[in-house]
């Protein structure tokens, strides 16, 4: 990658140690002659990253989700530094960031392009999600009946607490908690996972990436909540269908050259098992 000439820092100061780490990395960038801008605001305002070569996010995965839309629109890679808990997206630890930031500024990283969902709830009402789209009743305790189409083909009616539509990146988030599958981020698919379905045979379904999914509310006197990455809500009309597709935009995520997805999964989910050196492996 080309050397970074201007970097934006997005710092979640509610995370312990984030402010101090940002101070250290900003000093490294300043000493390298890199131009900077800094904010503690996220989601980012539209156009914030338009003149940047990279964006360093210091916080947790939620902080990075608040930057993802603008990163995808501006095609600016995110360097995610974890000061949260799990850190599936913010894959650089504080120690790794301190040790490797000079090299990162020189462009010594690879970019992993992650799929995003585009959700529409009506004319001019659409948004992007990196992890997932959640559809449920506006009242938490209400069960909903949702009719799902894949293209023109009826999938089925779901009587459930809600539906989660997930990217491969988001498969380790709400989708996993609801019993959905873990999906490699390079897989070109959308996962749909029902939440507490009343029909026990209703399970997660994997759709190809070029599908157009449509959800129709068949619950009498009910309004739906559509949550994007658990952070932003889309308005939905009483009878308006909800459409979900893979976006043409993709999130550029900076990774170390030796990044291993399954190494991250093993670490974050506390799986057992170490790589054993054997002939032929």
Which of the residues 51, 53, 61, 274 is marked catalytic?
61
Query: Are 153 and 214 a contacting pair, CB within 8 Å?
Result: no
Rounded Cα distance, 106 and 94, in Å: 19
Q: How many of the other CB atoms lie within 10 Å of CB of 269?
A: 12
Q: How far is CA 194 from CA 64, 132, 214, 250, 274, in A?
A: 26, 13, 15, 25, 34
Question: Is 132 annotated in the active site?
Answer: no
Q: How many of the other CB atoms lie within 10 Å of CB of 169?
A: 24
Give the bridge partners for 205, in sequence order. Answer: 192
Residue 128's contacts (CB-CB under 8 Å, 6 or more residues apart) are: 68, 69, 72, 116, 117, 118, 119, 228, 247, 249
Residues identified as active-site: 61
């Amino acid at each position: 990658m080309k050397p970074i000439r201007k970097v934006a820092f997005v710092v979640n100061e509610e995370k312990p140690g984030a402010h101090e780490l940002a101070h250290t990395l900003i000093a490294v960038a300043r000493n390298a002659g890199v131009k900077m801008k800094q904010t503690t605001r996220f989601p980012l305002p539209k156009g914030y990253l338009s003149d940047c070569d990279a964006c360093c996010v210091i916080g947790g995965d939620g902080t990075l989700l608040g930057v993802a839309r603008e990163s995808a629109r501006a095609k600016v890679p995110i360097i995610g530094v974890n000061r949260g808990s799990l850190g599936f997206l913010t894959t650089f630890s504080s120690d790794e960031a301190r040790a490797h930031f000079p090299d990162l500024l020189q462009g010594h990283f690879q970019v992993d392009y992650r799929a995003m969902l585009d959700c529409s709830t009506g004319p001019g009402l659409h948004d992007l999600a990196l992890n997932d789209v959640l559809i449920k009743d506006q009242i938490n305790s209400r069960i909903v009946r949702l009719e799902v189409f894949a293209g023109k083909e009826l999938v089925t009616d779901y009587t459930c607490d809600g539906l989660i539509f997930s990217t491969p990146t988001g498969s380790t988030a709400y989708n996993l908690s609801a019993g959905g599958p873990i999906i490699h981020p390079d897989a070109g698919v959308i996962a749909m996972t029902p939440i507490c379905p009343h029909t026990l045979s209703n399970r997660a379904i994997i759709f190809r990436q070029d599908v157009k999914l449509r959800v129709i509310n068949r619950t009498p006197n009910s309004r739906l909540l559509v949550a994007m990455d658990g952070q932003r809500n889309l308005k939905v009309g009483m009878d308006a269908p909800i459409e979900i597709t893979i976006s043409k935009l993709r999130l550029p995520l900076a990774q170390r050259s030796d990044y291993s997805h399954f190494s991250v999964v093993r670490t974050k989910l506390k799986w057992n098992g170490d790589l054993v050196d054997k002939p032929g492996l």
